[in-house]
Amino acid sequence: MEKIIESFNFEPGDTIGNKYIVTDNIGAGTEGEVFKVLEIDSKIPRALKLFFPQKNKKFQVSLRNSKKLHKLAESPLIVNFHSHEKFKIRGQKIACIVCELIEGEILGQLIEKQRQKKMSIFAGIHLLYSLVCGLEFIHLNGEYHGDLHVDNIIIKKFGLEFEIKIIDFHHWGDSKKDNRDEDIIKTIRIFYDILGGSKHYKSLPPSIKYIICGLKRGLILDRFKTVSHLRFHLEQMDWSDAV
């Protein structure tokens, strides 16, 4: 009988499949755990996500995630996928995804360090534009993220331009269009959050409030029917009232 695994309990120095050495535990979620590892032969650092077997029946989840990462490899938001592998761990065959290791900072943690725990409007618009451009490629290829928020966006470069990566894709069984709509809603929610949320919303200029729409779902989707509409608006908007 398959045992329930809620943690792999790997520590730095442990090996996985005589192929990888664990150097750190990056984080955990409902599907599994992510570790920073070194390839034993090449000493190249990687990120390795091990899937809990009870959440990955017949390896369907890990294989689906692998195929999605490969399909969307040209999006600047997507981490580089290397391989889908299986190892014997705790007497069970466990699947994992091996990807490039992203050195950066979680967006939510970065915001906490900012003055008043928010970004400037200038920085916020540039980050939103980077996110929207990458998300547009994903949507145009018939996919979606499914659970965007400030804690699954990694900032690699912070400046006039942002280099960002998104992690933790989710698969929901319902309409892909509904989930692409949800990506738009959550992208604008991220914009709202990084500009200070409810505490600072009233003081935002009209051009910015036009994008956020008071977080009213119907108004957002009426104004930005696709992420491409949102991208076009950002490229054409007059935000002189925000400077």
The alpha-helical segments, DSSP class H, found in the chain are: 60-71, 107-113, 121-140, 176-194, 198-201, 206-212, 217-223, 227-236
DSSP-assigned letters across all residues of 138-150? HHHTT---S---T
Sequence-ordered list of residues with C-beta below 8 angstroms from that of 16, at least 6 positions apart, any chain = 10, 22, 35, 37, 48, 50, 87, 89, 96
With a pLDDT cut of 90, the percent of the chain lying above it is 79
Give the start-to-end residue ranges of the domains of the chain: 15-100, 105-242
Least confidently predicted of 77-81, 138-142, 165-169, 214-218: 165-169
Least confidently predicted of 133-147, 151-165, 195-209, 212-226: 151-165
pTM, rounded to two decimals: 0.89
Q: What CATH number belongs to 105-242? A: 1.10.510.10
CATH topology for 15-100? Phosphorylase Kinase; domain 1 (3.30.200)
Beta bridge partners of 25: 35
Please report the pLDDT score of residue 1 as a whole number: 57
Domain 15-100 and domain 105-242, same fold? Reply is no
Residue type at 101 in one-letter notation: L
- The string of pLDDT tens digits covering residues 173-221 is 667 889 999 999 999 999 999 999 999 999 999 999 999 999 999 999 9
